[in-house]
Structure 1
Amino acid sequence: MIERKATTRHPMVVPALCLRRDGSEFHAVTVDISSEGLRLRSATLPTVEERLICNIRGIGAAQVSVVWVGNCDFTVRIFGKAPSPGEVARRFIELARRQAKLSDVVRVHKRIVPERTAVEVVLANGRRVPAQILNLSASGVALALDNPPAVGEVILVGRRQAMVARRIERGIGAAFLEPLDDTAISEHTAL
């Protein structure tokens, strides 16, 4: 029996702008780099084998090919020659080391897409609006909704209070005021 060595992952979080061949673009955030490739998280997902140009803060533009797509993240491999894949990996690992020094504790909660994505959101003014859960973690939720509320606004997502932390392409990212237990998050979680 051949035993596989565990892949070393270097976590790092930096913004990226991904450009498709048709000229459209979408925003992503890097998650980590390993021998398997560079993992990014986004509300917009490419397809496996799609080729992109990812402009990554602190790294620059890299030609990549998508090798895996999940519910809210995807993995790419660098194939361009300028900068070379080895040079990009070195830059990422150095950036990951610098970020690790800034914080000894890096907490990244598992994100899932629940079976029931429809949810009602109550805005600060009491107005009720329908929304779709893009992804969910113990610490927060990404929601697609029309006319997103302002960053900093406290809202009610289902039965959970949350504060709008950021705007995303199709809606908002909100942090729960009282995080859920990470073990309670599954495809069956209902807000």
Structure 2
Amino acid sequence: MTQRQAASQYPVVLPALCLRRDGTEFHAVTVDMSTDGLKLRSATLPVMDERLVCNIRGVGATEARVAWVGACDFAVRITSRDPKPGEVARRLIEMSRQQAKSSEDVRIDRRIVPLKTAVQVTLVDSTGVPATILNLSVSGVALQLDAALAIGQEIVVGQRRATVARQIPQGIGAAFIEPLDDAFDEKTVL
């Protein structure tokens, strides 16, 4: 399954409880809202075209159909009549804007500058972009690079899969899909 970058993407992180028709449920977290649908991440993945009821914090219970399934995420199209798909999209876009305004630089992980700061960033289409590590933590990396990357875009930094989490004046901040070992230090190479 190849994923394409949506033209209008609104990153929004909210917990969701997804209920299947057989009565089982699983937890997920929203990633973004776009013209392709609502993208969610979960350890449990539904199947294509499966019908779910997703109870999303701040939105409520909404019926949805699975539009695509990836390695650790999936997208749904809203099918409910109450709230209607347009209303769900408006709520999620508004929450995305609120989250963007309130995203202060709260740092909880120790940051270092590694000895080797040159790194290759690989995009979904396999394009390579040279970058410089500004700082590194167990959960992510700040990179200086000359490429416009969208928030939510998946990349590979060196050998580590990551998602673009924020834009900074010099480049981007990316969150690792799998955190680094807590014993990382200045000799760590991505």
TM-score normalised by L of structure 2: 0.57
Aligned residues: 124
Give yes or no for contact 2:32–2:152 (8 Å, CA) kept in 1.
no
Equivalence map 1:25-174=2 (5 Å): 25-103=25-103, 110=154, 138=176, 140-141=178-179, 160-161=181-182
- 2:68 maps to a residue whose letter is W
Using the TM superposition, give the Cα deviation of residue 41 of structure 1 relative to its aligned residue in structure 2, in angstroms.
0.3
Q: Describe the SS at the equivalent of 1:88.
A: helix
Deviation at 1:138, TM superposition (A): 2.7
What is the deviation of 1:35?
Answer: 0.7
Whole-Å Cα distance in 2 between the matches of residues 53 and 111 of structure 1? Answer: 30
Distance in 2 (alpha carbons) for counterparts of 1:177 and 1:80: 49
Q: Secondary structure at 1:161's aligned position in 2?
A: coil
**Is residue 30–residue 40 contact of structure 2 (8 Å, CA) maintained in 1?**
yes
Letter in 2 for 1:96: S
Can you list the C-alpha shifts for 1:133-160, whole angstroms capped at 9, x where unaligned?
xxxx73635xxxxxxxxxxxxxxx8xx3
Aligned to 2:21: 21
Runs (4+) of structure 1 moved beyond 6 Å? none
Q: Is the 8 A contact 1:20 1:53 kept in 2?
A: yes
Question: Which residue type is aligned with residue 57 of structure 1?
Answer: R
Percent identity over the alignment?
A: 56
Alignment-mate amino acid for residue 45 of structure 1: L
* Structure 1 residue ranges without an equivalent (≥5): 113-136, 142-156, 163-175, 185-191
Amino acid at match of 2:11: P
User: Shift of the alpha carbon at 1:80?
Assistant: 1.1
How far is 1:103 from its partner? 1.3
Distance 1:33 1:6, change over 3 A: closer
> Does the CA-based 8 Å contact 1:54-1:64 persist in structure 2?
yes
SS at match of 2:89: helix
User: Conserved in 2, the CA contact under 8 Å of 1:110 and 1:138?
Assistant: no
Q: TM-score, normalised by structure 1?
A: 0.56
CA distance in 1, matches of 2:65, 2:34: 15
Tell me the distance in 1 between the aligned counterparts of 2:178 and 2:80: 36
What amino acid is the match of 2:48?
V
Indicate the residue corresponding to 1:165 in structure 2: none
Q: Distance in 1 between matches of 2:6 and 2:41?
A: 22
Indicate how the Cα distance of structure 1 residues 138 and 25 shifts in structure 2: closer, same or farther if over 3 A, else same: same
